[in-house]
């Protein structure tokens, strides 16, 4: 009960400018770190979807969900374990083009890691990799030895394996 786990929180909301502030304040007050955050549109028209990654106990995540759902513009919030979701992160590496030309190993790394070159010029090239955090970390570790000019990673995005009953909920509200 008191062990910390990684939970993905999915929040369906109205599209409102101040809402990110309201939601992050819930974590701030409790000294809880948000590992990553992503806001996008959802499968429902005019409804936004927040995806948050947190490392907390189950009791904490339940209480946080309660506080999040209390916000007027939040339609519904859920939390999921890693097992209950299919999730990805995306990252970009900026590397020197010389590496590509002079170092055979780099070619192998790119092929084996299932990453792809999305931009190249005479000075640098940009490598894109999507996958789990572990896969991204592993690639980082390998490329680090060759010198990474820039690195950036996105927040987690996740789809649940089970159905998300938000559309039904909204229909109920409308009725």
How many of the other CB atoms lie within 10 Å of CB of 168?
10
Cβ 56 to other proteins shortest distance, Å: 15
Cβ 173 to other proteins shortest distance, Å: 6
Cβ 163 to other proteins shortest distance, Å: 20
Question: Which of 75, 95 has the CB closer to other proteins?
Answer: 75
Question: Which of 58, 135 has the CB closer to other proteins?
Answer: 58
Tokens of 169: 């909920």
- What is the residue-wise DSSP string for 102-141? H-HHHHHHHHHTT-EEEEE-SSEEEEEEEE-HHHHHHHHH
β-bridge mates for residue 31, sequence order? none
Cβ 67 to other proteins shortest distance, Å: 6
Question: Which of 62, 114 has the CB closer to other proteins?
Answer: 62
How many of the other CB atoms lie within 10 Å of CB of 136?
22
Which residues are at the interface with other proteins (CB under 8 A)? 13-14, 18, 21-22, 25, 29, 62-63, 66-67, 69-70, 72-75, 170, 173-174
């Amino acid at each position: 009960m008191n062990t910390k786990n990684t939970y993905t929180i999915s929040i369906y909301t109205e599209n409102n400018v101040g809402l990110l502030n309201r939601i992050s304040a819930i974590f701030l007050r409790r000294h809880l770190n948000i590992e990553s955050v992503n806001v996008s549109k959802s499968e429902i028209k005019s409804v936004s979807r927040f995806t948050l990654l947190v490392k907390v106990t189950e009791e904490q995540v339940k209480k946080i969900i309660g506080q999040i759902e209390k916000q007027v513009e939040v339609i519904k919030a859920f939390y999921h374990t890693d097992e209950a979701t299919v999730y990805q992160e995306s990252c970009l590496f900026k590397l020197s083009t010389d590496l590509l030309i002079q170092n055979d190993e780099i070619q192998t790394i790119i092929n084996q890691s299932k990453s792809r070159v999305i931009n190249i010029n005479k000075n640098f090239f940009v490598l894109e990799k999507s996958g789990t955090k572990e896969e991204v970390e592993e690639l980082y570790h390998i490329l680090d030895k060759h010198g990474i000019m820039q690195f950036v990673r996105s927040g987690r995005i996740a789809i649940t394996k089970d159905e998300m009953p938000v559309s039904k909920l909204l229909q109920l509200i409308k009725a």
